[in-house]
Amino acid sequence: MKLLRFSAFLLLLPLSAVASTAHDFDFFYFVQQWPGSYCDTRQSCCYPSTGKPASDFGIHGLWPNYNDGSYPSNCDSDWPYDASEMNWPTLACPSGDGSSFWSHEWRKHGTCSESLLDQRSYFQAALYLKKQVDLLKVLQDAGIRPDGGFYSLRGIAGAIREAIGYTPGIQCNVDESGNRQLYQIYLCVDTWGKELIECPVFPRSKCSSRVEFPPF
């Protein structure tokens, strides 16, 4: 079943940062993160001052990228983060209201899209994409649930592609027991931050053929 009508194999190509002041780029990575995997590491996590977030994929960021796998970074130090703009929950430590994390995301990534999106439009685009693609529902409908079980990486990617029409990038991390677990899902988006597209390149997966989907 298609959830979206977007014209939207994991290539394990490395990403490399490029020092750049140019504001041109080829596409966005829209990165969603599973909180159970973020917290189930030696580093652990901190709930925001508003309390424990919902058990759902959270937004890590909306990142401008180039087709060759490199990406622009910190493009305009003269446009500071405005705390009154829209944002999303974060599990970064120390616990707080998230301003430090959102400021980092804007400075490092958002400023590199400012030729097309101002700060409010940048954060709104990420929130819009989150509403359009309910990854947790997609996976649960395919029988893939955050129950601590191990699931086929191919099955996870296939379920998402079946639902949205595009192949995701999938990234894993390692829990305290050394198990590979579902960590982040990358979707590729056009430069206006509106439409899903096929990914020109994917991040390093760091996954095994079967990965844990831990609860949160």
In the chain, where the domains are located = 27-213
Q: What is the mean pLDDT of residues 67-91?
A: 86
Q: What is the structure's pLDDT at 196? A: 98
- Say if residue 88's pLDDT is above 80: no
Question: Catalytic pick from 23, 85, 104, 105?
Answer: 105
Does the domain at 27-213 match CATH 3.90.730.10? Answer given as yes
- Say if residue 64's pLDDT is above 70: yes
Question: Catalytic pick from 60, 85, 104, 176?
Answer: 60
- Whether 162 is catalytic is no
Mean per-residue pLDDT of the chain: 88
- Say if residue 2's pLDDT is above 90: no
- Say if residue 16's pLDDT is above 50: no
- Whether 104 is catalytic is no
Q: Which residue has the higher pLDDT, 89 or 118?
A: 118
Question: Catalytic pick from 23, 104, 109, 195?
Answer: 109
Could you write out the DSSP letters of every residue in the chain?
A: --S--S------PPPEEEE------SEEEEEEE-HHHHHSSSS-----TT-SPPSS-EEEEEEEE-TTSEEEE---TTS---TTS------PSSPSSSHHHHHHHHHHTGGGGTTT--HHHHHHHHHHHHHH--HHHHHHHTT--SSS-EEEHHHHHHHHHHHHSSPPEEEEEE-TTS-EEEEEEEEEE-TTS-SEE--SS-------SEEE----
Q: What percent of the chain has pLDDT over 90?
A: 73
